[in-house]
Structure 1
Amino acid sequence: MNEDIVVDNLMFMFITDVENFDTIIQSDFRKQKSLLSPSKIPQSPVKRTGDTPKLRSSNMTDSSALQSMTSSHMRIPSLIQTMNAKITKYGKIYLFKTVPQKILQYENIVLQSILNCEDMDVQLQIPYQDKINLQVEFKEYFQHIITNTTKTQLSAAELFTEEVLGLPHMISSAVMKLLPLNPSNEDLSKLYDKVKNFHPEQRLYELFPMNFHSVLELCASVIGTHPEYAFVQPQIYADSLARATAARIFYDADFTGKWQLTFDQYKKTGYSVLKQIFQVQNTADISTLDSPFGYEQFYVMYCLYSKYAPGNNVEKPLAEIQLRAFNEFQYSARFVARVFRGVGRPLLTKNQFNFEDFIVMLLSDVCYDTEQSCRFMFNVADISAQNSISKFDFDYFFSENQIQFEQRGVTTQRQDILIQLQDMIKFNYDEDFNFSFEQIRRSKMHMNLFDAMFSVQKFVQFENRDPYVANSELQTGNVVSHCDSGVWRAFWQGMYDSISGDD
């Protein structure tokens, strides 16, 4: 009898374990609901080997290893005085009032070596050891560099971009566009003088407007330069990959939904575009890349959008009726109408629902464990535009769903559902049915509310779900970046294996 109890306890622990619930409740992601054509888009040439992290090359320098090497006697007092630590959504960041003198000295030495060159394409040696020494001494200053490049030489333009400006060398083509066609020594010096007193994070915002088209250009520069993306041909696929990457960056970084990034936003959120670019630049195997630059994630997004797009052309916007077919007509017509008008998040281009807007909707649909998803659904649900979900808002959507409930033979009592939802979110039915965004987000039960309002399919699936699994779902912490979402990972990996396997 005792052995039976032990087995039951182990099974209960497995079912309710946070790490296992995604696999259990999202198993339907791996079932292909309808045939998706892989089109002609190339598949990743390197097969994903799983989630087990690979050992890095000995030539690469891990920032954590650098940090472990740092000791208090290597630090200079001026650094401590000019640096402020700040806790943000994405963790701790360091803000610098001034750039440490040793770093300025290093940048000027490299700049002088570049000014002695007559050609910006000439290959120059990277002062690798000097840079490593600086990273050891000023580890907070270089926290955006996860791993270092394995290259020993860079062109003068690339060296100017990375070692003088402190930006990834793979965006050197975008940096060179800020200069005359054949820049003089004075041109290079002026550009450096413009930003030399800022940290590289701020330098990026000083040099580029950081609107969508600016970030798109940076992404395209990386994809066009990184040798691992050479297989992405013809150019239309590389352009689409850059669009998807930029849209995913904005999804995580732009909490205002204005398609505009600022340094002030960075100080609040801590989302580093610079870090994302450095990560992909210094990654030798992109098949393991779990970031906005991930190719297999893009492959899934591209195939899904082309399924609904006119003529399977991702360059064409969707019509509302085409968006209505999303995921086997999963959402109600009223929900789709508001999403199509840009209520969830403003559309990138007014009156057009493009590939970028579809990515925002897809991520909000799948990554329900992120704040961005909750905010997207909340905006759609807030019919009265009072920054709260009222009984009026609920009835507007639920009245449309009642017809489908009857067609499915599902008996629903509106008042019973209202009581259950209020108990889940406010834990008190005596109060009015009126929820703020913070109340819904903190309850971690927003899926229940939005499923009841927007999707009969999802609501019925939840009602039939194992209560133990539902309980473990409640214990899941808030995920900030969609790339860190276990639900998202299960979705795109399952879809990629399914779609690419049909090719």
Structure 2
Amino acid sequence: MIRCKVLCQTKLVTIKYHNFFSEKINNKTNNNNKLQQYKYFIQNIYIQKYIYVKIINTYIYIYIQNIYIYIQINININIYIYTYLYQQIFANIIIQNTINEIFGKNNEIQLKEFKDLITKVCQLPNILIQLLFNKIDKQKNDKINKTVFLNYWKNELQNTSLQQRFFNILKKQSNDFIERDDFLPLMKVLLETHPGLEFLKATPEFQERYADTVIIRIFFIVNRKDDGKITYKEFKKSNLFQILQQVDTEEDINKIRDYFSYEHFYVLYCKFWELDQDHDFLINKEEFSRYSGHTLSRKTVERIFEEIPRQFKSGELQKMGYEDFIWFVLAEEDKTNLTSLQYWFKIIDLDNNGIITGYEMKEFFEEQRQRLEYLNHELVYFEDIVCQMVDLLKPEDDIKFYFYHFKQKQNLSGVFFNFLTNLNKFVSYEQRDPFNIRNELNEHPDYSDWDRFAQNEYLRLAMEEENQENGEVFNDGNDPWDQETGQENIN
């Protein structure tokens, strides 16, 4: 026996039916018998109390709760196709009845009743209740008219997947994409209602920065074109829908590491604040060069401030804004995603021809070699680096690396850029302990490189704050690499 689950009066009912209906009906059977078998099959899928089936010629007439439906049957088509269609019709009738019950005779509902509508009809998480209510209630009278809701339901939500419904609610009705400001109403509701963010209500300026950070992180991962427009294809391909569902049910916001973690926001904000010495919410080149103890080479800093990997959104010449900095940190601290790899590929690709050659690698490596020499570190030879990278990425030509080479080794190829741009990570890789690396991976196997970085930085910041409260200061603020050398110290 096969089991089929169907909706009946909002309850899930399991009905048994015979195996021979799972295959195309035998062509040797005469047409009249085939139609009778269809009738038998349909009536046994649904409860006969709520459905009546009558066959006239090649039409099957279905009577469901005061509504007549008729469909002409092609007896050579698998019966499952028609079964799916009947189930959709039946489900839509139940939805219509639910809508009628919730609205009642007044044909208007307020926010309280609207919650039932969202969960029973739209099947959407609670986080969207206020958002959708405000979107439909354009008159701002705190009531929703039944006709207005039905129009929105039919045009935007009916006959769509849950992901598509979520997408349609977030975007403007005139657009087929989500823009940055489309997330602001969602963030406003989240900050007002989520228990894990309640403590931020006392500091509106941090609420604003938290919302900005979440939105920037979403676009960094989801909007691969970086055009400020998330298409449905990008939305569907990402994990954003699943993460938003988790936010709706998880009270500890820090457990939602993708996009929404407050601890991750705190790390990013503090990183920016540490560099922004005059606190004008802009970072100049000199301030930026101090990132992580001058770990980036001067050539790398120059390329970033020439806006090669990404155009600054600050609106100020030669100054990096908050969004620009967040984008950089996300790209720098986790080179296992395509957005990060593309960012760094553009930096090394000096002639912007889509190919990284040995000449371009040597241009960046030479500064790294000089810095290692200054630190009396054991020298690493360029030829050895090239051999390692060729073995890792396996280009068709000896030293010609295209972006697809990095894409094919997405989780490993970040080391290529660390060798050429970041002295601390270069040295760390050369001195790595496989045992410690294995322990880190085993401790949090589901953590990304960004998750590990953010966790370590948050602990560091917490310890520094505790030490300051206890009057202990371990950093006198004098960086030996702030002198004329423009280099950095490696602890």
2:405 aligns with one of 428, 433, 439: 439
Q: How does 1:363-402 map to 2 (within 5 A)?
A: 363-402=330-369
Q: Unaligned regions of 5+ residues in structure 2, if any? A: 1-11, 23-44, 47-77, 172-176, 467-491
Q: Structure 2 vs 1, CA of residues 186 and 80 (structure 1 numbering), >3 Å: closer, same or farther?
A: same
Q: How does 1:212-223 map to 2 (within 5 A)?
A: 212-223=180-191
Report the equivalent of 1:414. 382
Report the equivalent of 1:488. 450
Distance 1:325 1:73 in 2: 70
Alpha carbons 1:168, 1:274 under 8 Å: kept: no
- TM-fit CA distance, 1:162: 4.5
1:123 equivalenced with 2:112 (yes/no): yes
Per the alignment, in what secondary structure is the counterpart of residue 435 of structure 1? strand
Alpha carbons 1:276, 1:291 under 8 Å: kept: yes
Q: TM-score, normalised by structure 1?
A: 0.64
RMSD between superposed Cα atoms in Å: 3.9
**One-letter amino acid of the structure 1 residue matched with residue 420 of structure 2:** M
**One-letter amino acid of the structure 1 residue matched with residue 204 of structure 2:** Q
1:323 equivalenced with 2:280 (yes/no): no
More strand by share: 2
**One-letter amino acid of the structure 1 residue matched with residue 292 of structure 2:** N
- TM-fit CA distance, 1:433: 0.7
**One-letter amino acid of the structure 2 residue matched with residue 378 of structure 1:** F
Report the equivalent of 1:185. 146
**One-letter amino acid of the structure 2 residue matched with residue 329 of structure 1:** H
Q: How does 1:411-490 map to 2 (within 5 A)?
A: 411-426=379-394, 431-443=397-409, 445-466=412-433, 484-490=446-452
Q: How does 1:304-315 map to 2 (within 5 A)?
A: 304-312=271-279
* Cα deviation code 1:463-482 (max 9, x no counterpart): 22236678x69xx89xxxx9
* Cα deviation code 1:250-277 (max 9, x no counterpart): 222222222321112234x2x1433222
Per the alignment, in what secondary structure is the counterpart of residue 320 of structure 2? coil
2:224 aligns with one of 222, 235, 255: 255
Report the equivalent of 1:204. 166
* Cα deviation code 1:201-257 (max 9, x no counterpart): 223333414112212432332222223321113111112111111222222222222
Q: Structure 2 vs 1, CA of residues 294 and 386 (structure 1 numbering), >3 Å: closer, same or farther?
A: same
Q: Structure 2 vs 1, CA of residues 172 and 391 (structure 1 numbering), >3 Å: closer, same or farther?
A: same
Distance 2:277 2:91 in 1: 53
Distance 1:98 1:305 in 2: 58
Alpha carbons 1:99, 1:198 under 8 Å: kept: no
The higher relative CO (CA closer than 8 Å, separation ≥ 6) is in: 1
Distance 1:287 1:70 in 2: 39
**One-letter amino acid of the structure 2 residue matched with residue 317 of structure 1:** L
Report the equivalent of 2:478. none
Give the share of equivalent positions with the same residue, in percent: 19
Q: How does 1:27-426 map to 2 (within 5 A)?
A: 100-101=88-89, 103-116=91-104, 120-124=109-113, 156=114, 158-179=115-136, 180=138, 181-182=140-141, 183-195=144-156, 196-207=158-169, 208=171, 209-232=177-200, 233-267=202-236, 269=237, 271-312=238-279, 316-348=281-313, 353-410=320-377, 411-426=379-394
* Cα deviation code 1:83-134 (max 9, x no counterpart): xxxxxxxxxxxxx99994455345434433443467754534xxxxxxxxxx
- TM-fit CA distance, 1:434: 0.7
Q: Structure 2 vs 1, CA of residues 100 and 279 (structure 1 numbering), >3 Å: closer, same or farther?
A: farther
Q: Unaligned regions of 5+ residues in structure 1, if any? A: 1-68, 83-95, 125-155
Per the alignment, in what secondary structure is the counterpart of residue 389 of structure 1? strand
Distance 1:402 1:285 in 2: 46
Distance 2:371 2:208 in 1: 41
Q: TM-score, normalised by structure 2?
A: 0.66
Pairs aligned (count): 377
Distance 2:393 2:226 in 1: 25
Distance 1:203 1:286 in 2: 24
**One-letter amino acid of the structure 1 residue matched with residue 208 of structure 2:** D
